[in-house]
Structure 1
Amino acid sequence: MAFALRKRGPSNFERAADGSMSLIEHVRELRNRLFRASLAILVGFGFGIWLAEPVRKLLSKPYCDLPASIDPVTGKCNFVQLGVADVFLLNLKIGLWVGLIIAGPVWLYQLWAFIAPGLHRNERRYAYVFTALAAPLFAAGAVLAFFVTTKGLQFLLSVSGDDIATTLEVTRYISFVTNLILLFGVAFEFPLVVLMLNFVGLASAKRLLGWWRIAVFVFFAFSAVVTPTPDPFGMTALALCLSLLYFAAVGVAFLNDRRRGRNKPAYAGLDDDEVSPLELDDDPVAPGQRIEAAAPVDAPEPITAPAPIERRYDDMT
């Protein structure tokens, strides 16, 4: 028994890539993808509320590991809550951040599926590589920020004397830690910007290497502003990590330039007094054939007069 197979039409990705999708269809696709992304974030927010308290305790660990944070009576790490609903609102904020991270693969895919049809094949390939590198770099920056926070709090709390009891307010402390993690994570994405400039052809690897003094100075200045303490430990750690990532990105740029042959001049294999190799064709040219004279053109024949038009019908019938 033979079954008739229905011919499958082009997908939405193919129709958006070749420009056959109308504006209304683009708007409808954007609406559907925003709905799916919002639904995924809502589900992630539910899991984030469930994980809010463990995450808050994890972010409090740099402060709670210090001896100055322990209450001598209860033996627990104490924070201050100034408002009645401060901890509740803080848990909602932490739940939202955790929900965005949990639902990240879904809403990032929806965003990418809407943007990707407008990119070329090589641009999509570069986007895959940069996205695969962005997440580990951000995670490395977050881990470094967590480590710098521990050392920074130890320095800041040691400044106060024995006659001062230090107890941190919970919402300000969590905001301080999360902002520091975001700053360090975004700073670790700078090598991707360097690679992007090289891959699109705006800056060669040799030029990027020539900018190393300016880059190192900018890294140390940025680290001095971002790190929370005036001690040189956190600033030096962040600046050295950024410098190493910059030189690693320049090394990848050198490999990319060598692969594309950007640094090779057009006549690199020739000496200054050597002429370029030209292919000389010494074959003799045969004489051309004799062209006969053209015959005269006959006079045109007279054109017969057209027949009279039948008035009962128009020109279309």
Structure 2
Amino acid sequence: MPRTPRDPEGRMPLRDHLVEVRKRVVRIALGLLAGAVLGWILYDPLLAALVQPLQEAAARRGALIGLNFDGVATAIDMRVKVSLFLGVLVSSPWWLYQVFAFVNPGLTRSERRYVYGFLFAAVPMFLAGAGLAWYVLPYVVQVLNDFVPEGSSNLVGAQLYLSFVMRLILACGIAFLVPVFMVVLNLMGTVRARTWLAGWRWAILVSFLFSAIVTPTMDVLSMFAIAGPICALYFIATGICFLHDRRVDRRRVAPVG
């Protein structure tokens, strides 16, 4: 098969680059499907783990707290959603690689060298964000159930609860990818560290707004548990960008020969 012609800097023509969209989307879908099959098989222990914070809250308060499947098709609907949720988590290395592979041909050789690090950093960062959400989840459920009056029961709709849990975990995983993109854009020479630092107020504001959306509790502690690490990662990424900019600036002013 003839190789796709490239320009002198190694870029693939835009038309051929866009042709890959369908291939990458299909591969991502197949990866999600494979993960969803695993989620379907492991549905019972996965559902038990997701419901455990409710059981702990019920034991703590001595009240009836649990899921309510309030529709004929709710159980099968939630099994499909939970299976897809696990599919997204399990196949995260695969779909992140497909995103990287799609962008890679459109970059120059020098840009491609820097972006290789994206794949190795993105997967653990995504999983770290999901892990943080999982760690905070029992506390969030506990705080929300503390508002239930004594002697009352709290049968939470399965759709509402599981959608909230899955949204929290996936949103935190995606949020932890932001520092990776920051560093990659800096290494490619697109955004300098001073630009990231100049937007630190907006970064903190957006982090706390994001935390307020994904953790709808009224206490400050749960908001800081999510927003704090995100803000810290923003400044760590900015520091890495400053170190890179300093090295670049030194090479530019160094005498030749």
TM-score range, shorter chain: 0.7 to 0.9
Aligned mates of 1:20, 1:185 — CA distance in 2: 31
Q: Report the AA paired with residue 52 of structure 2.
A: K
Partners of 1:210 and 1:34 in 2: how far apart?
36
**Structure 2 residue matching 1:261: 3-state secondary structure:** helix
Q: CA deviation at 1:232?
A: 0.5
Work out the CA distance in 1 between the residues paired with 2:170 and 2:47: 16
The alpha-carbon distance between structure 1 residues 105 and 152, as it changes in their structure 2 partners (threshold 3 A), is closer
Change (3 A) 1:67 1:114: closer
Give the whole-Å Cα distance in 1 for the aligned partners of 2:186 and 2:169.
Answer: 28
Aligned equivalents of 1:216, 1:120: Cα separation in 2: 33
Q: What is the Cα-based RMSD across aligned positions, in Å?
A: 3.6
- 2:186: which partner in 1? 198
Partner of 1:166: 154
Q: What is the identity percentage for the equivalent residue pairs of Structure 1 and Structure 2?
A: 37
Larger Rg: 1
Structure 2 CA distance, aligned partners of 1:31 and 1:207? 35
**Structure 2 residue aligned with 1:61:** 52
- TM-score when scaled to structure 1? 0.66
Give how far 1:186 is off.
2.1
Which of the residues 225, 228, 233 maps onto 1:245? 233
Is the helix fraction higher in 1 or 2? 2
Q: Given the alignment, which residue of 165, 179, 187 partners 2:167?
A: 179
- 1:97 to partner: Cα distance: 2.7
How much has 1:234 moved relative to structure 2?
1.1
> d(CA) in 2 for partners of 1:205 and 1:77?
49
Cα distance, 1:236 vs. partner?
1.5
CA distance in 2, matches of 1:122, 1:89: 47
**1:69/1:166 contact within 8 Å kept:** no
CA pair 162-131 structure 1, distance change in 2 beyond 3 A: same
CA distance in 2, matches of 1:221, 1:67: 30
Kindly provide the amino acid, as one letter, of the partner of residue 67 in structure 1: A
TM-score, structure 2 as length reference: 0.79
Higher relative contact order (CA 8 A, sep 6+): 2
What runs of 5+ residues in structure 2 fail to find an aligned partner?
none
Q: What are the superposed Cα offsets for residues 17-37 of structure 1, whole Å, 9 maximum, x if unpaired?
A: 46899x79x85x766665555
Alignment partner of 2:218 out of 226, 230, 238: 230
Q: How far 1:71 moved relative to its partner?
A: 7.8
Residue in structure 1 matching 2:203, options 196, 215, 239: 215
On the 8 A contact 2:132/2:172 being kept in 1, the answer is yes
The whole-number CA distance in structure 1 between the counterparts of 2:84 and 2:93 is 15
